[in-house]
Amino acid sequence: MRRRASDPLRIRRYLQTHAVRKLQLGTGPNPLPGWLNTDVLPDFHSQHRDQIVFLDAAKPFPLDDMTFDYILSEHQIEHIAEMDARAMVKECFRISRPGGRIRIATPDFAAILGLYNEPLNELEQHYIDWVSARFLPHVRSGNPRCYVINEMFNAHKHRFIYDQETLSAILADAGFVEVVRWAPGESDDPILRGVEAHGKAIGDESVNRLETMVVEAIRPPSAADT
């Protein structure tokens, strides 16, 4: 009840006080200064609850058309069904200003399946060992790569894991253009550099860089192009 009354006021206050408007979906433990930080479970990380407002990214956003310059989703889109993700990206397009940019970081289907190839490089072997130690200490036999790959697809409340082609197509279908892939933390836009915190959250940036795919796209600058 408190959020139902207070969050719309906080959203309105944010929009009134920020000329450059930046929306984060699925904030988790990473509220960013100067962003409207939202999450479907805004009270889960109690130390940040006053910095996050409720927003269910799988439902229509309570936000006006062409409102935001930047949208960030980090390790969030894989937690909703693929049909809901398509609807989410369309909502992101709707609320983006012409020339606005979206950035999505999510597990990389191709990198995870690549763990089954031979030979593994040093980073891939480290990833297998890290996931096995952290999430699969009970596994005593069988192929650890099989367990690690299944861990990505079946654990952590994941609903759909994307490859670059599929995620790019979803963005393009919504109307976004100029889809570009980046490494975590990297961008040609200084506002989007270093915004991710998944590597810090899991405690191993090399693991994050292997498993995470980042794509950016732009709403066409001219409203006539939409």
pTM: 0.95
Domain spans, the chain: 2-107+159-198+208-225
Amino acid at 209: R
Q: Using CA atoms, how far apart are residues 29 and 34, in angstroms rounded to an integer?
A: 15
> In degrees, to the nearest 5, what angle opens at C-alpha 200 toward C-alphas 199 and 202?
70
Eight-class DSSP state of 29: T
b/e string for 10-31 if b means 16 or more Cβ within 10 A? bbeebeeeeeebbbbbbbbebb
C-alpha distances (whole Å) from 38 to each of 50, 73, 76, 153, 203 are 11, 10, 11, 25, 23
Is residue 31 within 8 Å of residue 45, measured between CB atoms? no
Per-residue pLDDT of the chain (226 residues; tens, 9 = 90+): 578 879 999 999 999 999 999 999 999 999 999 999 999 999 999 899 899 999 999 999 999 999 999 999 999 999 999 999 999 999 999 999 999 999 999 999 999 999 999 999 999 999 999 999 999 999 999 999 999 999 999 999 999 999 999 999 999 999 999 999 999 999 999 999 999 999 999 999 999 999 999 999 999 997 555 4
Q: Which residues contact 64 (CB under 8 A, 6 or more apart)?
A: 95
Q: Which CATH code is given to the segment(s) 2-107+159-198+208-225?
A: 3.40.50.150
